[in-house]
Amino acid sequence: MPSDPTILAFDTSAAHCAAALLRAGRIEAARAESMSRGQAERLMPLLEELLAEVGCSWQDLDAIAVGVGPGNFTGIRISVSAARGLALGLEVPAIGVNGFDALAELAPKGHIPAIRAPREQVYVQLPDEAPQLITPAQTDLPGPLFYCDDPAAQARAIATVAARRNIAQAEPPAPLYIRPADAAPSKDTPPVLLDG
């Protein structure tokens, strides 16, 4: 593994599709598109466009980095499965970076990285505590909340964090879920199956 790896990073954990390429220790390109749906269809073309923009091929990559959440369940599954599939196909490591570590790269000192959640709640990870869901009005926090509204900046941060990790010993990325899924089984009566 080179000392300055070429890392393709991406994230679909919210209403966006974002990617960044880190090469020779610097971010060469970053892109983000807002979308509430369609990340699965748009992710691979976006990654190919980003690579073409900087004259990089899939074979030039030393690692894949991916945002693992917290965030939108479907979005997280899209990016994590894409990262694992690409890593397998390219025979390179995949590194999962949680949103708190990525936002800590961007947050001013003393601020708490915060990720918006449904129902006017917020995901946070306070020092020495497990990630949790809170309301933004909670007053017993050790500092102000920091939100990132720039998905391209978050993709750049994911690449930067991944580059500092021991890529050779990276575990396959896994989604970071803080709350259970909102989905429930259908209450419709299933159709009758006919034999023969």
Domains and CATH numbers, the chain: 7-98+150-169 (3.30.420.40)
Q: How large is the angle between the packed helices 39-53 and 73-90, nearest 10 degrees?
A: 50
Binned at pLDDT 50, 70 and 90, residue 181 comes out as: low
Closest Cα partner for 47 from 62, 58, 60, 35?
58
Predicted confidence band at 179 (pLDDT cuts at 50, 70, 90)?
A: confident
d(CA 19, CA 51): 10
Classify 49 as helix, strand or coil.
helix
124-175: pLDDT as tens digits: 999 889 999 999 888 789 999 999 999 999 999 999 999 999 888 888 999 9
Burial class of 123 by CB neighbour count within 10 A (0 to 12, 13 to 18, 19+) = buried
- DSSP class of 82: H
- Beta strands per DSSP E along 93-162: 94-97, 112-117, 121-124, 132-134, 145-146
* Spatial CA neighbour of 102 closest among 148, 35, 135: 148
Tell me if 177 sits within 8 A of 69, measured CB to CB. yes
- Whether the Cβ atoms of residue 71 and residue 42 lie closer than 8 Å to each other: no
Asked if the bond preceding 185 is cis, omega within 30° of 0, the reply is: no
Cα dist from 196 to 189, 192, 193, whole Å: 22, 13, 10
* Residue 192 pLDDT class (50, 70, 90 cuts): confident
Question: Which amino acid type is present at position 50?
Answer: L
Which residues are bridge partners to 123 per DSSP?
115, 133
CA distance 23 to 114: 28
* 31: pLDDT strictly greater than 70: yes
Contacts of 166-169 with C-beta under 8 Å, sequence gap 24+, read: 167/1, 167/5, 167/62, 167/63, 167/93, 167/95, 168/1, 168/93
Highest mean pLDDT: which range of 78-92, 125-139, 171-185: 78-92
Q: Which two tokens stand for residue 186?
A: 């259908």
